[in-house]
Structure 1
């Protein structure tokens, strides 16, 4: 191993991980691929995390102790700055990497220089659940329109791309900073998910605070807007407002339906460059449209004749189609002024 020029930098920010950190460290030190430096960045832990790390005597481990807690994303960006490896392998202090994880990811990245990031399938610890997201770049991009589909601690990233284009995690996007970084990287190469489970991923039973959940939702919406901006130049408040509703499963207005009707045409035309795989993108728009019209015309709490007239006015413009039976239900409920009875 070349200490000054390792093939891989393992980047593992930690904070109060005393229950799991030994398993995490051992899983890295037991990799079949051994040419790496192992940066463990402690964010001013108040438990035994640091003392456990200091028990190890391995020249590949470099423990960086932050005197003040400044946050997860801050630790990540510091690690990217000081990393010496050709590749950055992410790891969290409560997960477990399988022994051949690095060997397989490095082999793939070495053989595919157009790929800038490689994730893997993961198995949830203490369960039979396997998370396996889309494999190829075209389908990853489509999935990004709805959700993050790359597991953060499973990734290996080509550091030369981060350095050359001055890319780092956006601290304002935490706790969805990874999702935002993946979308940025689409500018510079392909993303890929190995379909083999190479990481055991821990899901904690503790509930995420409502405040943090709201921040994650807001960050994800901003990232989805950035993704659509690859083809639809220029964000506007109407698009942002509609995405907010779609992401949160909120109620829609008739104005939303009319806006989306024009938006889908604009987006299909803008995608002539085929940034998004055309058939998959059209399917995404159809599914989104159905979600909106289903909420407004079917799952509403009250009806009146105007609802049916609105449906007739926009029916021929819809990509998604409703059955005759469903249309009759809308008609009957509308003329009967049908209302949901509250209990």
Structure 2
């Protein structure tokens, strides 16, 4: 038993004695439609020294069957006996990891084959960098490309934590990206307290900003991952009004933190950008939904 609410269902041979360089953590809930694609992409990595930790959050769809079929020694599967919150399941996935570097991957996103090697190399050669992120492609429900090479506007290359925080406030969005685009050190994750609510919409950004208290950021120009825009995701299920409130609350917290000393011009630009960003986000999910609806109509007799 990993803890009272979880059980480890199968473990790669010799995993207890092995401490890998990188852990890929996949929190999964009702993920059967996309999980196979996600697993294929992480198993295809050209970086040999890694483990894959999948935490099934008490799924009732085909997720358990997909995980039962895995025979790769690098994969550990843990099943929750009760359904945890998204925040707790993400934290559990990282807690169970053993790698020096960690990457959290939603169970519907995918990696390019060289993602782990490229990001681990940045952390290995830059001990003062606590967060490394790449650009990502946006894909729809079926995996077709919506937009390429998104993210990291204004924060490419080596940046201070202060510069990244300013860009978050100024842009009124998450310029760093979703977890699939990011790699960090397990020791820093433990130091900052991991994923922390109460707001799901800003859960990722909140972690990035707390990790950046300990060091610098590196934005990679390469596109190394794909983020799926789909109707059933947590972002899609959060109303536009709630997204705006959560983003405003988060920006205010950063502005009020004397550590970051956000200039007035960045605060003003954030206020001007907030509605435009929200509209683009809503339209992006609508576009993916329209594509999915059209595909269903084409395949329905």
Q: Which runs of 5+ in 1 are unaligned?
A: 233-269, 293-343
> 1:166: Cα distance to partner?
4.6
Q: Which has the larger radius of gyration?
A: 1
| Residue 143 to residue 95, structure 1, CA distance change in 2 (3 Å) | same
> 1:290: Cα distance to partner?
7.2
Tell me, in whole angstroms, the C-alpha distance in 1 between the residues paired with 2:268 and 2:201: 30
Match status 1:160 vs 2:206: no
Q: Provide TM-score, normalisation by structure 2.
A: 0.74
Retained in 2: the 8 A contact 1:174–1:215?
no
| Residue 20 to residue 210, structure 1, CA distance change in 2 (3 Å) | closer
* Equivalence for 1:142: 166
Which moved further from structure 2: 38-47 or 219-228?
219-228
Q: Select 2:151's aligned residue among 115, 127, 132.
A: 132
Retained in 2: the 8 A contact 1:175–1:212?
no
Retained in 1: the 8 A contact 2:101–2:186?
yes
Tell me, in whole angstroms, the C-alpha distance in 1 between the residues paired with 2:44 and 2:184: 21
Q: How many residues align?
A: 246
| Residue 84 to residue 212, structure 1, CA distance change in 2 (3 Å) | farther
* Equivalence for 1:103: 117
> 1:286: Cα distance to partner?
5.2
Equivalent residue runs for 1:1-343 within 5 Å: 3=15, 4-125=18-139, 126-130=144-148, 131-133=150-152, 134-135=155-156, 136-137=159-160, 139-145=163-169, 146-151=172-177, 152-163=179-190, 165-205=191-231, 212-231=239-258, 271=261, 281=263, 283-285=265-267, 287=269
* Equivalence for 1:304: none
User: Residues 3-29 of structure 1, C-alpha deviation per residue, up to 9 Å, x if partnerless?
Assistant: 431101111111112121111101111
**Larger RCO (CA under 8 A, 6+ residues apart):** 2
The alignment's C-alpha RMSD in Å is: 2.6
Retained in 2: the 8 A contact 1:179–1:220?
no
| Residue 212 to residue 63, structure 1, CA distance change in 2 (3 Å) | farther
> 1:2: Cα distance to partner?
8.1
Q: Which runs of 5+ in 2 are unaligned?
A: 1-12, 275-301
> 1:206: Cα distance to partner?
5.2
Tell me, in whole angstroms, the C-alpha distance in 2 between the residues paired with 1:184 and 1:114: 15
| Residue 57 to residue 284, structure 1, CA distance change in 2 (3 Å) | same
Secondary structure of the corresponding residue to residue 17 of structure 1: coil
User: Residues 17-63 of structure 1, C-alpha deviation per residue, up to 9 Å, x if partnerless?
Assistant: 21211111011111000211111111111110111111110111111
> 1:127: Cα distance to partner?
2.4
Retained in 1: the 8 A contact 2:131–2:217?
yes
Tell me, in whole angstroms, the C-alpha distance in 2 between the residues paired with 1:75 and 1:209: 19
> 1:105: Cα distance to partner?
0.1
> 1:155: Cα distance to partner?
1.0
Q: Provide TM-score, normalisation by structure 1.
A: 0.65
Runs ≥4 in structure 1, deviation > 6 angstroms? 289-292
